[in-house]
Amino acid sequence: MKLFECANCSNPLFFENTYCEKCGHQCGFSVTALDMLTFRPERIPMISDKSRRAYKYCKNLEFGVCNWLIPADRSDEFCIACALNRTIPDLSDSENTAKWRKLEVAKHRLVYQLARLGLPLSSKMLVPEGGLCFDFISKTNDSKVMTGHADGVVTILLSEADSVHREQIRTQLSEVYRTLIGHFRHEVGHYYWDQLVAGREQAQSSFRNVFGDERTNYGESLSRYYEQGAAADWQNSHISAYASAHPWEDWAETWAHYLHILDMAETAYYFGLSVRPKVKSKILRGTIETDPYSISKFEKIFHAWMPVSFTINSLNRSMGVPDAYPFVVSPAVLEKMNTIHRLIKR
């Protein structure tokens, strides 16, 4: 994530802020400017301190789940991120509202990243064929309802916003990592396979060369994975055990990690992080000198990011908490990430 600052007093701003804690100016995120804009408090219309343009907040500000801005001359009530919502929880339950806020934090960070990559973001309610939408639902007696993706609809169970429940599921499934942002990045990966690969001969050829043939029966592959588990050597060619279940899941898992690395690299770039450890080995030295979203080759992003990731993991271990990035990126997985990067750039 980029670093943001108040245009009035230069105080740092978090992505989710609605006001500057130093000078009190209101603030919100503009997806067109890809920046946080600030405004004199209680002034109508809201005139940007930076651009002098007029804005209004997304309607979902009233629920405390969105701080994104819409140009004042537009009739839209919802920002581009909230316009992707097809189903939201029953807000008569205060616990649902609190969980929904957590989901929206993760989803807005996802949409920011997709916008930075220049990927298509059409609402399925406006573009039924090829659009994207989100259903945030409570678990019902229907055991078939689960977090997943189908034909542009990403379903996220509200229970995933409960950190205790999420940890229980993580332990039950023997996962090393389970987060809301991870869910969003994985499930939207399935959607972008349809957008970037399906029906495109050159893209499908590139995909099959590194991920395998997606025409392998999906249902049978998942059943076999859940019955037998992953092969003992899965780490040689997959980012996670689950990625070995089927080429589609391999793509979605790798896509999620591609976005993880890009986001961490962007954060490191804006903080000016440089790693120069006091050891002889040079592989742990690195500096992210360029905005990673402008770099054409993913290998360059990865090799600059890796020392930063190792440093963060080491700091976490100093505090007795799990690694921030508990994964090994093998050469085969790096080539899969390269493939995704090239498809997006193309």
Residue 142 has pLDDT above 80, yes or no: no
Question: Does the residue 325 lie in any domain?
Answer: yes
Same domain as 101, residue 64: no
User: Which of 32, 51, 77 is the last residue in one of the domains?
Assistant: 77
Kindly state whether residues 64 and 139 are assigned to the same domain: no
pTM: 0.94
- 279 in any annotated domain: yes
What is the average per-residue pLDDT within 63-90? 95
* pLDDT on residue 140: 63
Asked whether residue 201 is domain-assigned, the answer is no
* pLDDT tens profile 98-112: 999 999 999 999 999
Q: pLDDT at residue 139 above 80?
A: no
Residue 213 lies inside a defined structural domain of this protein: no
84 and 192, same domain (yes or no): yes
- Three-state SS for 191-217 is HHHHHHCCCCHHHHHHHHHHHCCCCCC
38 & 129 share domain = no
Q: Which of 193, 249, 198 is nearest to 221 (CA)?
A: 249
Q: Report whether 128 contacts 102 (CB < 8 A).
A: no
Domain of residue 35 covers 4-77
Q: Is the domain of 187 the same as that of 286?
A: no
Q: What total of structural domains would you count in the chain?
A: 3
Q: Where among 196, 222, 245 does a domain terminate?
A: 196
- What pLDDT shows up at residue 170? 85
145 and 159 Cβ atoms separated by less than 8 Å: no
> What is the structure's pLDDT at 111?
98
Q: For residue range 34-69, list pLDDT tens digits in order.
A: 999 999 987 788 999 888 899 999 999 999 999 999
- Residue 176 and residue 327 in contact, taking contact as beta carbons nearer than 8 Å: yes
Position 247 in a domain: yes
Q: Give the pLDDT score at 178.
A: 87
Which residue has tokens 């990243």?
113
Do 306 and 286 meet the contact criterion of CB atoms below 8 Å apart? yes
Does residue 95 sit in the same domain as residue 59?
no
Round to whole Å and give the CA distance between 119 and 97.
Answer: 29
Q: Which of 77, 110, 134 is the last residue of a domain?
A: 77
What is the average per-residue pLDDT within 71-79? 95
- Which amino acid, residue 29? F
Provide CB contacts within 8 A for 95, sequence distance 6+: none
Residues 51 and 85 in one domain: no
